[in-house]
Structures are given as C-alpha cells and as structure tokens.
Chain A
Amino acid sequence: MSGATSGTDVIASGSSRVGRPPGETADDDSPTDRLRNPAVLGVVLATLSYLSVFYHVTDVVGGVVPLVAEVVIAVGVGLVAATRLRERIAVGVAVVGFAAALGVYVASVPESQRALFTVGRLAQDLLALSSGLSVLRLINAGTWALSLAPVPTFVVAYLAGRGRHVWAATVAASTTGFFVLTSDAGVAAALGGAVGATTAVGLAGLAGAGRRGLVAQWDTVVVIVTTMVLVTSLVTVVPGGGNTVVPGSSPSVESSLVSNNDRVSVLGSITLSPSVRFTVESDQPAYWRVGTYDRYTGGGWVRTGDASPYRDRQDGPPGETVELEQSYTVRTAFDAIPAANAPVQISGETRSVTQVTSNGGFAPATTLAENETYTVVSERPSATTAELRRAGVDYPDGLRQRYTGLPGSTPDRVGERTQTVIEEAGAETPYDAAIAIERYLESTKEYSLDVQNPDGNIADSFLFEMDAGYCTYYATTMVTMLRTQGLPARFATGYTSGQRVAEDEYVVRGLDSHAWVEVYFPEVGWVQFDPTPAADRSDTEQSTLEEAREGDASNVDAAGSSEGVYTTQSTFESTAVSGDGGSSDPNQAGAIASPGRAVTGTTPPGGLLGTAAGRETGNGTTTSAGGDDGDGGLPSERDTALGVIALLGALAGARRAGLTARGYRFLWTAYQPATDDTTVATERAYRRLEAVAEREYRPREPGETPRQYVDSVVRRGLDERAREVADAYERAHYGHGVSRATADDTVATVDRLVRSRIPVVRRFA
C-alpha cells in the first residue's frame, strides 16, 4: 500500500490541473496538497482495513500478488482520474466497473453451478451475505475478491484525490462494513474502518479550520478514536463475526459444533461441558459427525457452497459400505444433526428441517427442540487397510482442487516437515502417509486444553512452535500436512461415541465434542483419521465429568449413565471393522479411561483404519469466538496494542483536561535540578515560589511586579522568607546577578517552602 501511495504521489503531482470542477470545496490547491491533508490518514486507515479482508480472502484461496498489483493500479488510476474526470463520470465508471466485476465472477462459476444463478437466487445470496455468510464460502471466493477489490479502491483514491476525504473514508468504511456483515472482517478490520472514518471526518473538519484548529484540537480526535477502540474491544457487536472475546474467560466447549456453523475458528484455552447433549441408539459406536469443512483460512475452517433442502436418500460413498442405523434423542436445544459418516437417509420429525451441506452432511435449518428424535441411516465405508493402500490417487474432477487448497501464506516448512515425516515412515501410499502423519502428531505433541491461541497459521504454529494442543490443533495440522502433499483431506467436527450405557445406547455430552480428519480415497470415500492422543483426552474428559457430578451439576447424566459403563466383552473384537472409524469398544473404554485403550497406530484386528477412530472419545473441539484466553505468560500482541492505544488516549485526554500540564507543573515545582548558572537557579527558584503561592493564594496579575506580588502574598500569610527570594530574583533577573551563596540560599529556601506543602513529604521536611 505504501508503495502505491508514493507511486501515486508522483503521478498526482506530475499531472497538470485540469480545472477544478464547480462546487469543489477543497481549500488546497493541488492534488498533492490534498493528499497532504491529515484526513488522508483516516482514509488510508479505512482503506487498509477493507483491503486487509480482500487480502485475507485471496490469501486463503491462493496468491495475493494479483491483488496487490490490482490495488496499486486502482489507486493510481483513481488519483489520475481525480485530476481529469468530473465526478459524475467517475461515478459512472465505478458503477460500470462494479457490474463488470460481478459479470467476471458469474462467468468464473463452473457451468454446473451457473445454472443455479437466477435473479431470486442472487438476491437470496446477497441477503445471506449481509447476514453473516462469509465471503469465503463462495466457491470462487478468489475470483470474487480479485474482481471486486479494485472498484472501491478506485472510488476511494478518486475521492481522496479530489480532496473529498470524508466521502473517501465513508466509501472505504462502508466496504469494511459490508465485510463486517459477512463476518469476514475481524474486530481489527472493523475497528480500522470505523477509526479511519472517524479520523478522516475529525481531521478533515479540523483541517478546514486551518492549521491552528488542527493543533488546538487534534487531541480531541485522539480521545474520541481511543474511546472507540477501547469500548469496541470490550463490547463487540460484530454479528457472527466469531471474534468476540471476553478476556479472561475460556470459551465453553463446542459451540461451533452445536450450532453447526459454516466456519470454525481455532481458539486458545477451552473448557469442557459435562452436560448431556443427546443419546444415540446404535448397533455400533461411531463418531457422531456434525460438520465437515473444506476451506482452511489459516486461523480456522470454512465450508464453501450452499446447503440444499434434503429431499430423498443421498448417494453413499463410492466404495463398499456397511449400513448403520442410528436413532438420536436430543437432550437439549440443539443446532446440529449428528450422524455417523456418510449419512444418506433421515427420518423422524427432524427430516423436514434437514438440509444437505455441500460436503454431504446433514444440518438443520432450525434449532432442534429438546427430546426431538430422528433416525439416520449412514453408509460407512468398509474398505480394508489393504484396499485403502491400493486406492491410488485417481481423484474425481474438482475434488482434489477443493480439498487440497491452502492459504498462500502457509510456510513452506510445513510441506518440508511433512515430506520428512512421510519419508522416515517409509510410506508410499496415501494411506500410509496419513497414518505416518497421524502417528507423528500423536507422538510429538502433548494433549492440553490450556493453550495460548497462536497468531498466524495454526498448523504452522502447532507443528513448529507449540508443544501441546487439543483436537482442533491436531486435526487442523494433519489436514494441512496432507494437503501439502496433494492429498484431499478435510476437517470434521462432531462428537465421539460417548458413554455406552447399554448394549446399543450411548450418552453423549458436551465434553465428547471432538474434531478429527477425513481423508478421501478413490473408490472408497471419506475415511476418518484421528491424530489426537486418545488416552490423554479421555482422562481430561473423565475428570471433568466427575467434577461435574460431585458438584451436582444438572443434566450431567441420562439414561442411567451414572450407573457405570456397560461393557460387553465381545464388542472389542467384533466391531472391529468398518473402515470408517467405528471401532466401538476402544471408544467406549476411552471415555472411561479403561486400561486397554488402543495406542495409536496399533491397528486393531482387521487392520482397520479404525485406529484413528479407535481412540476417540469426547474431546473439546471447538468453536466460534475467537480470541485469547486470559492465560498467563506475556500479554498478547492484541493486549499490547490495546494497552498502547489506551495509553495514547489517556495521554491525549489528560492533555485535554490539562492534567499533563498540571502534572508537569507539579514536578517542575517540586524539583529543581542543580545548575552552575546562579541567575538561572535563582530565577527558577522564584518561579517555583510563584507556583506555590499561586496554588495557595492567587496567581500573579499580569501587571503585578514580583515585588508587589510577594508583598501581597506575604501579607496574606506566606512565609516572610519569600521576600528574600523575590529580592534575590530581582537582582538576578534585573540586576547584576547574584553570588553563588545567595543563589544556593534562595534555592534552599524555596525547597523548604515547596516541600512543606507536599503531603507526606512535608512530614520529613
């Protein structure tokens, strides 16, 4: 951006002025001068805030170079246009540009999807976007951003070049506002927009009053802006922004899972809820999946594409499958339809509100009521390990593109590390690679719910900087690592099988929420892997549960779950297969921390992938709300920034209120540094005396001589020694100067006078 600005400066100053249009109110003479207006600061800030969103979007889907180039050109063109085009024409250009951008985007959408574009559909989309639908969910988010970014940028540059800073900032802030609605703008970007607009308006107003107005009132603008920043950082109202932070309190559990959002942010510390969410009747234990996500943003997950209403039985996975019927009873108001992998059919009262997501999962259009029941039929891939090894890499069209994308900013070292891991394990097939990565993560990272949310790319941080994390970190990192190798993988959230209370019944609690990985195998379908160390996780969960029970928390148990675990010797062996992670018993046991728990990588009998599934048991996955936790260590960058802003604001406010001047005056009065110049010392001593007398009696009148003033305040009770000070001052200031001794005496006298007036200190004086 800075490059753009300096480049355009040259353009602007080099261009001749082609007449100022009538009604132009800017009091500056040339475009260069207009860009020197302090209000430009606000405009730049507001522009940067929305550009940061565009930048993020293009980064997630690929490179940012085209965007940067585009923005630079748009700014340049805008500034040149400012000197050559009338406003009406410029508005026309912008409108045409906007239409063209939309056209480009529509053209870029694949044929198959384009059929869906109708006027009604477009309107619906627009509505959806402005009510929290992330831009990232657009299938061609990259094209969308690249085609649209230049439009507001051109307009802003044009307006700023015309000296219409307030309008420029308004346009920029509105663009940010749009992203706030789509929930793509984080708190920082939203604030940037608001602060930029406020600064622009404030400074433009002040600059209108000339330099003097600016100098006199700049601190007012600072105070207002700081207040905005601080207030908004404490109370955030960004809808669905997933960025709310209440510092100090860890987010509670799986909110994103439960609400089945279209995005998942990775958080810092989380807590687990022991409340029962639902019970399942199923012949086999499984991971009760809630959602899957295909687009990785570096800081979280987004599901692209739209959901469509459920009509009829879905197509199952391409390979051989085992059908599993599960009956769910929701125990609390619930925003998701948990179902084992590859749900194909749903029946019961929930059916009418069921939607099928673009990833093939089920999601409710409305919140499920307590005690609502439904039955899902899932087709679980039943490929054996050998079959998975043979599956190859012949992925269907589009699938590889959709499930192997990574943010352009993902460091190369992630891929390099993955390569090393795979090579060391001697893995030659995608399946072996997945197992190698899974084991690598299980063995090198500790399980902990108490982590500092890293800045930047989660996977990179977890892989290289963090020692511990929980399922979200493990799963995110594993997907990222797989994708660096071109293997289609996605992020899945949901619940582990929970506590088995009868042969075919499971109680699932909030603490069972979990995140894991699904990897695609040609001719098989999506297969579950779980890189999270299961033992640690289940320990954590169990202790949470016991604490809750001891604390008499409500809704902790259901269907006799408090009576202990139902165990059948047979299960462990019998459930073996079902490639899709269904090893039941280990799960079950895990929840209760049974000693027999599968160690990672030990493939259960039958050679299933189940390993992965084997070890899961509820674990906090997690959710929306992003932020930081109030947990030890150094303050985060955000806290530091807020602190600095608060300090600035406090200083400006203090200056406004005259506190700095008063504070400075106090220090100035209280202490006098030694100096060799007797005249300076004496003069300073007298001024301190005056400061004391001013506080105590009255200030010296303008026409009052030092002698008259001191006489007057001495008559009112000031120490007689003040006269000596005044006398010495007269000699130093008006006469031939004073001797060293006189100067020292004078300073000492004033020191005594001053100190006898400072609370506390006077006790020692």
Chain B
Amino acid sequence: MSDSDVDTDGSERTALPVDEAASLVERVSDNVADVIVGHDEAIEDVLVTVLARGHLLLEDVPGVGKTMLARSIARSVDCEFKRVQFTPDLLPADVTGTNVFDQQSQEFEFRAGPVFANVVLGDEINRAPPKTQSALLEAMEEQQVTVDGDTRQLRDPFTVIATQNDVEPGRTYELPMAEIDRFMKKLRLGYPGAGEETEMLERTAGAHPIESLEPVATTEELRRGRQTVGDVELSEPVRSYVTSLANYTRENAQLGVSPRGSIALVRAAQARAVMNGRGYVVPDDIQREARTVFPHRIRPQTGSETGSDVTETAIENVPVE
C-alpha cells in the first residue's frame, strides 16, 4: 500500500494523520450510536470493516437493526446507500445493472444496479441462487463489474454489508466456504439489552432518528482515513504472531484460516489501531480483530466446536512475542 492513492477522478489524495483519523471514526461512531442503541461494539466492527476496505456479513434474526446500522453509517459519512433484497428469483443483472436499448437514441444505455453505491446492503443473501450470489461476491472482490463485456469501476469507498437469515433455513442457498471467506468479518448483532431496548423505543416513538441523522464526515475524509489505515506500522513480531495464529487454526481444525484470512486480519487490525489513535499494530489489536475475522473461516474438527472456540484457543495458546 503506497502513501498516496489515485482516485477514480485521478486526483492525488494524502492520508489523514492518525489522530485525525481516530477522531473521524469517533465522530461517526458517536453519530451512529444515536440511532443504533446498544451495539457499540458492532458499530466499531462495521467501521473497522469500512476503513479496512472489507465487507461484512451479518448473521442474525430479523428486526435487530441490521439495515438501520448500515444506513446510519452510510449517512454519517455522506455516502450513497443501496439495499438489495435477495430472493430466489433475483438475477445477477438485478444486482449489477443491465444494458437497456433506448429507442430514441437507438443505443444501449447502461442502467446501473444497486451495487453501484458506497454502501450496499445485501439482505438475506442466502435466499438468492448461487449465480446471483456470486455476482455480488465478484463485485466485492474485484471492485468492478462487467456487463456485456464492458467493465465498470465501482464506487470508492465500496462496502458490502450482507445479511443472512438463519431462522428459516428452508429455501436458502448456504454460502460456500470459499465465498464466505471473502467477507472480512462475520458478526451477530444480537438483541439489545433490556434497558437499551427501552431507550430505543423511546427514541423511535416519534420520527425515526435516522431521518434527522446528519453526515459528520465527508466521503473524501473517509477515503483519506482508509489511506491512513494502509500506512499503519506492522512490525515483524506482530506479523509472525498473525502467522502463528493462522497456523494454529490450520493445525487444530478441519479447515483453518486461509492466507486471505491472515491478510484480512492484518488489515482489520490496522484499522483498529487507527481507531485507537495508534500508528502501529499491537497484539491486542490482532486478538480483538481475530475474534470477528477468523471464526467464519474455520471449519472445526468436531460438531460441538465452533470457529469461535478454535479462535479463542488459538489466542490463548499462541505465545505473544
């Protein structure tokens, strides 16, 4: 990752200083917390994902505020937000967009799909057939889509927040391991605490607070913040710590964390360091991020174990140097 990046419009961009980036994140997360009650950690996780150029998979019961979370974040940084509801009859073109013949101009005109936005919420992604799923996943990986031979660049920043509904397993297409691997993190929001829910009810009694949510940062600031993350120092002991953790999962699970997983962990940890106002990654960042980056990439040896269990054991046993 270089010090500067070239934007889609070709202008040079410089990274935010670490402290500014940290305050940016704080502003955004405070702002979002006005809307989303009781999920402060989840908000941080989402912001880390956005800063680290990752994508997020939320797995939860309906109605816990997944959509609201994504929307609030998009709004806080003045980003374009789009939502796609995945259904069994959804086609890839419904996601990426399609060329439409314009009778007047006698030409094909590209009509962009919902994927052309800064924050894309793919709701109940496991309800769509694999072909449609993979259209989205390719977009996530490539940062671009190809329709009828024309390759089109997606927005920057571009973050996909996909949700999986695990209460109705019927008529769903389980995401394969290879595709789940492309999500930087997988989270469960869970229900808010009793007090938090009460407070939420109070806030939402009148107009929904999302309607009055104002942006606290510009998209440009967010881009520069992402630049900052790439510059965060990653020392040798930390790198080898990550390697050791990944190796540990490979040795102690049926399927361990892939190198892509290690890369994702490092990037998430860099973002976490910036959030904490540090220009370098410490093992604490790694441990914190490993808990959300690793589990969904691990297939445990026994059914009674979960990916989280393996991750915890790894954190406990791999020595920190």
Contacts and interface: CB of A to CB of B under 8 A. Distances in A.
Contacts of A705: 282-284, 287, 320
Interface in A707-761: 707-708, 730-731, 733-736
B155 to A, nearest CB: 33
A704 B282 CA distance: 12
B284 A707 contact: yes
B279 interface: yes
Nearest to A701: B316
B280 interface: yes
A656 B320 CA distance: 28
A66 interface: no
Given A705-B287, A706-B320, A734 B237 contact: yes
A83 B224 CA distance: 79
Contacts of B278: 735
A551 interface: no
A734 B235 contact: yes
A736 B317 contact: no
Contacts of A734: 233, 235, 237-238, 280-283
B320 A735 contact: no
A702 B318 contact: yes
From B235, B238, B279, B283, name the one whose CB has the most chain A CB atoms within 10 angstroms. B283
A702 B321 CA distance: 9
Interface in B213-270: 233, 235, 237-238
B320 A733 contact: no
B316 A735 contact: no
B170 interface: no
B117 interface: no
B233 A703 contact: no
B44 to A, nearest CB: 18
Contacts of A701: 316
B319 A733 contact: no
Interface in A668-705: 701-705
Contacts of A702: 316-320
Given A702-B319, A703-B316, A703-B320, A708 B235 contact: no
Interface size class of A (residues with CB under 8 A): 10 to 19
A281 to B, nearest CB: 94
A701 B233 CA distance: 25
A731 B280 CA distance: 8
B315 interface: yes
Contacts of B281: 734
A708 to B, nearest CB: 7
B282 A730 contact: yes
A704 B235 contact: no
From B281, B282, B314, name the one whose CB has the most chain A CB atoms within 10 angstroms. B282
Given A707-B282, A731-B280, A736 B316 contact: no
B317 A733 contact: no
Contacts of B233: 734-736
A707 B317 CA distance: 17
Nearest to B318: A703
A735 B315 contact: no
A733 B316 contact: no
A731 B282 CA distance: 9
A300 B65 CA distance: 105
Interface string B264-302: 000000000000001111111001000000000000000
B209 to A, nearest CB: 36
Given A705-B284, A705-B287, A707-B284, A736 B318 contact: no
B232 to A, nearest CB: 10
A167 B55 CA distance: 73
Contacts of B235: 733-735
B237 A733 contact: yes
From B238, B280, B317, name the one whose CB has the most chain A CB atoms within 10 angstroms. B280
Contacts of B320: 702-706
A735 B236 CA distance: 10
Interface string A642-684: 0000000000000000000000000000000000000000000
Nearest to B235: A734
Interface in A105-133: none
Contacts of A733: 235, 237
A88 to B, nearest CB: 54
A735 B279 contact: yes
Interface string B117-159: 0000000000000000000000000000000000000000000
Interface string B155-190: 000000000000000000000000000000000000
A42 to B, nearest CB: 40
Interface in B95-113: none
Contact of A703 (B279, B280, B282, B315): B315
A703 B283 CA distance: 10
A701 B315 CA distance: 11
A704 B317 CA distance: 9
A704 B235 CA distance: 18
B313 to A, nearest CB: 9
From A702, A708, A731, A735, name the one whose CB has the most chain B CB atoms within 10 angstroms. A735
A148 B320 CA distance: 67
Contacts of B279: 735-736
Nearest to B287: A705
Nearest to A704: B320
A734 B280 CA distance: 7
Contacts of B284: 705, 707-708
Nearest to A736: B233
A703 B312 CA distance: 10
Given A708-B284, A730-B282, A703 B237 contact: no
A130 to B, nearest CB: 63
Contacts of A730: 280, 282
B246 to A, nearest CB: 15
B17 to A, nearest CB: 14
Interface in A387-411: none
Interface of B: 233, 235, 237-238, 278-284, 287, 314-320
10 closest A-B pairs by CB: A735-B280, A702-B319, A705-B283, A703-B316, A734-B235, A705-B284, A705-B320, A730-B282, A734-B282, A703-B315
6 contacts: A702-B317, A704-B320, A706-B283, A707-B283, A730-B280, A735-B235
Given A707-B283, A734-B233, 12 more contacts: A702-B316, A702-B317, A702-B319, A704-B320, A705-B320, A706-B282, A707-B282, A730-B280, A734-B235, A734-B282, A735-B235, A735-B282
